[in-house]
Each structure stands twice: as C-alpha cells, then as structure tokens.
Amino acid sequence: MSDELYQTRIVALAKSKTGAGKLASPTKSARRDNPLCGDRVTIDVKVEDGKIAEIAHQVRGCLLCQASAAALAGVAVGRDAAAVDELRHDAERAIGRESGKAHDPFDAFEPVANHKSRHECVLLPFEALKEALS
Amino acid sequence: MTFDVAAVRRQFPILSEIIDGRPVHYLDNGASAQTPLAVIDAVRSYELTSRANVLRGVHRLAERATELYETARTDVAKFLGVQPMEIIFTGGCTAAINLVAYSYGQLLKPGDRILLSELEHHSNIVPWQLLRQRSGVELDMIPVTTDGQIDLGLLSKLVTPKTKLISLAHVSNVTGALLDVRKVVEAAKSVGARVMLDGAQRAPHGPIDLKALGIDFYVFAGHKAYGPNGVGVLWAKPELLEAMPPFHGGGSMIGRVTFAETTWAPPPRRFEAGTPPIGPAIGLGTACTWMAALDWTATHDHEMGLVQRVLDGLQEIDGTQILGPASLQNRYPVVSFMLDGVHPHDVAQTLDSFGVAVRAGHHCAQPLMDRFDLDGTTRVSIAPYNDNSDIDALLTGVRHAANTLR
C-alpha cells in the first residue's frame, strides 16, 4: 500500500529540510539527474582533511528524494568518502537491496522496499555526494 | 447512437481487475491504453491459426498471415481516410518519426530548416537533432502560450523560405492542447514546406481524415490506440514515399540485390525491412476497426464530460493548477496539473493507493517543463471506457495527497 510509504518519519525528514540550500564557498559541487523521472539533486560540500566539513543540497524532486537528502546531510559531516559509502549501504539495506538491518536515520526508508520504482529516489542524493567527493 | 460506457467497459477485461482490494481506475491511457477483447482475439487467432511469415511463403499459413497483415493495412488506411499502400507499419510511433527523419531527411540540404514546438515529445525532437548532426539542417522552435498551446501567432515569423518541414504534435501529450492544423498547413504552403503531425495522442480518439487536413506525414502508436505493443504507423503522401530512400536495409525492402548494386522495392515495402510486427499489426488493424465502430460524437462528448469533471474537481482543491487550456475548447482528454507543495510523483504514488493509475513526471517533454520551470506534472489521460467513478477516485486521492503531504 502506497499510503504506508509516506510514513511520519519520511514526511518529517523531508519537511525538516536539513542541509537544504547552497554553500557560500564549496570545495566541490555535483549534480545528478534521474533521466527517467526528472529528479535533480545538487550537492555542495566543503572538505577539510578529506572529511566533509559542511554540506548543503538542492533537491528538485519528490518527497522521498528530499527526505533522503535531508537524512544524508544530517549525518554526513565529519565523514570521508569511505564512511559515506557505508551510509549508502545502510540506505540500500533499508530499501531491501542489501541484506541486514538499516540504522537510524536510514531505517526510515524501509517502507520504500516494496516500491522498486522509487528506489532511485532514495539513492539519488548518494550518487550526487559520491560524485562531489570523487 | 448514444454512448453506453458500461458496454464499452465490458469489452476490456482488465478493467475488472482488483488490486489490493481496490478496482483499477486506469487514467494513464496517454502512456498506454488498454486493449479490447476484439484485439486480443484477433492476435490470438493469428497466433493459433495463421502464424507464419508474410509475403514470401507459398504455403497456406503464409498466405493466411499475409492476407491478415494486408487487411490490417487496409483497416488502418480506412481509419485515416487514405490508401492502404500509403501506410507503413513500423515498430512504434518513435520508430515512425525516426524513419521520416532519416529517409525524408536524406532529401534535405545543409541550411534547410525544420520547425518544431516547445511542447513536443522527445520523440519529435531528438530524431531531428540527430538529423541536424548528420546533415547540417537547422531546427527552429515555436514557443508555447501560458495555457500550454503552441503559439501559432508566431508562425508568420518562424516560417521562412528555408523551412522545409513543420513537425508538431496533433494533440499535446502534456497539456492536451489540440493543434489548429489549418493554420499550420496554410503557413507551410506559403513557403512550400511539408507538415508532419505526431498523432500519438489524437489517434486514440477516433478516425481522422488526413486528406482533409492537407498534411504530408502522420504517425501514431499502436499501444496508445487500443492495439498491441511493438507496432506503429507512418502515413505519407505517395509522392513523398516514392522519393524517399529506405531507412533500414534487409529482406522485403529490395527490388533486386547484387553485390554491385541493390534496387529498392516500391513503398510500402521499401520501408518495412525484415519481418514486420505481424501479430501487432493485425491487432492494430482490429483496434482501428473497433474505434471506427464507435459513435465518436457521443464518445467525444463522454470523454470531454469527464475532462470537465476533472477540471471542476481540481479547481475545488486548494493549490491545484492546470497546465493546459482551462476550458474544453481546443483540447483533447489529457489533463496535466500541479498540486502546490507536493511533488507529482508523490501525488501519483498516493493515487496508486486509491487504485488510480496516472502518470507523473516530465512526460518526455523536458523543454516544456523548462518553459514553465516545473519538475513535472501529474497527468490524467482519459479513454472511452473511463467513467465518473474513475474521476471521483482520482479527486479523492488528490484531496488525500493535499491533506497529508503538505
């Protein structure tokens, strides 16, 4: 049931808009599009000593994409590329692409597991951040 | 005749499906329409009693298959008011446009101009961009008005003696706007340009008199017109087909092959290389006959009555906005809307939980989305088998999305 998809935690994450906006002087920016649905995520990062010092995102996309970007921005600071990869694995576990239990905040996306057409909405911010850190 | 929606619905078994305890309210006809039993039976009958390749076999099954295939060509031709030999079966509407872009494109010179519009489906943009890369033609674009119609007031400025082809959507797959073909043909004739219409969203709403329209090329898709997947149609004036070189090379499209030289078969064979989509074409012929048997005055009134119900219902929900003509004038039964503060995909996903199937996103019309600075729209596209219950379920779902997601 799709109603179950839009559970309170996902809606709250999206509405929190954590990290929404731009950085004044990012070390790097990256933009990723989902050509199938037109969603677009732009991520700015300020990197110090190989770790994320600041992060901001602009999402032109659905609620799931906004929620995912907000969740990611909320936990990304202080992490390097390898640690961000770990976060992605957590998100992939939440949506059932990998086995195991996801952790907070990404376990909020567990209801997306049954909606394969929406998996990319959750993963798009990770794609953009990976590119920004590359 | 009057329109009996219940009788029409009975011909579409899929409409009786129950998913997660809810009936299906199918309002995604602009993406793919459903198929009536008559079409399913025709394809099944071909597969069960007449399956063989067409044209070259001398055995009975090949003769049966060829006869069914050519009858389908005749049925499609009748639907469009043209001659069977002017009908080319393609793999789809996109394939038909690519055929024209390649084969008619071979007749164009660097510097020749092709006029498109801002609301075209990517299928009527990208093939021309590929031609531009290959041959140096130039592309021009007619902007769209604020209510989502091609701004034909600009035709006189945009059509020049260099314009060789004007290729436009007969009905927009996003806004539902119906093109004023007469104005386009008039402008084209003033400079000797050709006119092609993308009929993907028009053909599912009744027979078309192409001769009366005065155009040069017409294309549409089988699966949007109650036919099977994997087949589309190109119609072109015979003198154009005669002048155009082949698109694909292979069997069936040749006159005589030697290693020194190959000659081409006359149209339509010249453009149907290899084994054509025989079963799908037979299904599409049946779909055209099925459509032609409806009373389209009554059917159109029924469809537009549903459009009015959508427009009225959406207007009562706070923060909805229609992208397209506000009234029933100049439109066909495709309605795009935005709900303030809720992304179209989230609207569509919520509607799915009410059993309502719609399409959300850019609808393969990204230049149009850019024009209105939109992420996308939610699109409702209506077919003759839709009824008030479909629209009421839609409106209930949109209200729910408005109440819960913003």
- For every residue of A104-125, DSSP letters joined together read TTGGGGGGGGG-GGGHHHHHHH
User: What value of ipTM does the predicted structure carry?
Assistant: 0.84
β partners of residue B177? B331
What's the angle, vertex CA B261, arms to CA B255 and CA B267, rounded to 5? 30
Q: Would you give the distance in Å from CA B229 to the centre of its chain?
A: 13
**Closest of B384, B282, B291 to residue B48, by C-alpha:** B282
- With cut-offs at 50, 70 and 90, classify the pLDDT of residue A2: very low
Smallest Cβ distance to A1: which of B342, B353, B376?
B353
CB-CB contact of B54 with B282 (8 Å): no
Q: Of the residues B5, B55, B139, B364, which is catalytic? A: B364
Decide which of A38 and B280 is more confident.
Answer: B280
Mutation target to probe the B interface, by most B beta carbons within 10 A, among A62, A65, A114 is A62
Q: How far is A40 from A42, CA to CA, in rounded Å?
A: 7
Cβ-Cβ contacts under 8 Å, B346 against chain A = 6, 62-64
Distance from CA of B345 to the nearest CA of A (A): 6
Distance from CA of A9 to the nearest CA of B (A): 12
B313-342 residues touching A, CB cutoff 8 A:
342
Neighbour-count burial of B199, counting CB atoms closer than 10 A to its CB (0-12 exposed, 13-18 middle, 19+ buried): buried
Question: φ and ψ at B195, to 5 degrees?
Answer: -125, 130
Contact residues for B48 (Cβ-Cβ < 8 A; gap 6+) = none
Q: How far is A48 from A52, CA to CA, in rounded Å?
A: 6
Question: φ and ψ at B43, to 5 degrees?
Answer: -70, -45
Read off the DSSP letter of residue B246: P
Six token digits for residue A8: 């309170």
Six token digits for residue B254: 């040749």
- Tell me if chain A has a CB within 8 Å of the CB of B20: yes
**Residue in B closest to A60 by C-alpha:** B375
pTM over 0.90: yes
Given an 8 Å threshold on Cβ–Cβ distance, is A6 in contact with B405?
A: yes
Residues of chain B with pLDDT under 70: 1
Q: Would you give the distance in Å from CA A37 to the centre of its chain?
A: 17
- With cut-offs at 50, 70 and 90, classify the pLDDT of residue A23: very high
pLDDT in the model for residue A57: 98
pLDDT in the model for residue A3: 53
CB-CB contact of B358 with B378 (8 Å): yes
What's the angle, vertex CA A40, arms to CA A34 and CA A46, rounded to 5? 120
- Tell me if chain A has a CB within 8 Å of the CB of B345: yes
Q: Where are the beta strands (DSSP E) in B76-225?
A: 87-90, 113-117, 138-142, 163-169, 194-198, 217-221
Distance from CA of B211 to the nearest CA of A (A): 37
- Average pLDDT in the A68-95 region? 97
Q: How far is B275 from B339, CA to CA, in rounded Å?
A: 47
Reduce the DSSP state of residue B80 to 3 states and report it: helix
Given an 8 Å threshold on Cβ–Cβ distance, is A1 in contact with B343?
A: no
Cβ-Cβ contacts under 8 Å, B404 against chain A = 6, 11
Reduce the DSSP state of residue A19 to 3 states and report it: coil
Q: Is the pLDDT of residue A114 over 80?
A: yes
> How many contacts does A have with B, using Cβ atoms within 8 A?
53
Neighbour-count burial of A4, counting CB atoms closer than 10 A to its CB (0-12 exposed, 13-18 middle, 19+ buried): exposed
Smallest Cβ distance to B352: which of A2, A36, A39?
A2
Question: φ and ψ at B265, to 5 degrees?
Answer: -70, 160
Given an 8 Å threshold on Cβ–Cβ distance, is A1 in contact with B20?
A: yes
pLDDT in the model for residue A1: 42
Given an 8 Å threshold on Cβ–Cβ distance, is A37 in contact with B20?
A: no
Given an 8 Å threshold on Cβ–Cβ distance, is B350 in contact with A37?
A: no
Smallest Cβ distance to A61: which of B343, B350, B366?
B343
Rounded to a whole number of angstroms, the distance between the first and last alpha carbons of chain B is 46
**Residue in A closest to B347 by C-alpha:** A62
Reduce the DSSP state of residue B268 to 3 states and report it: coil
Q: How far is B178 from B85, CA to CA, in rounded Å?
A: 28
Cβ-Cβ contacts under 8 Å, B344 against chain A = 62
What's the angle, vertex CA B83, arms to CA B79 and CA B89, rounded to 5? 70
Read off the DSSP letter of residue B223: G
One-letter amino acid of B151: D
Given an 8 Å threshold on Cβ–Cβ distance, is A2 in contact with B375?
A: no
Q: How far is B120 from B112, CA to CA, in rounded Å?
A: 20
Q: Is B364 a catalytic residue?
A: yes
What share of residues in chain B are helix, strand, coil (percent, to 5)? 45, 20, 35
- Tell me if chain A has a CB within 8 Å of the CB of B346: yes
CB-CB contact of B84 with B77 (8 Å): yes
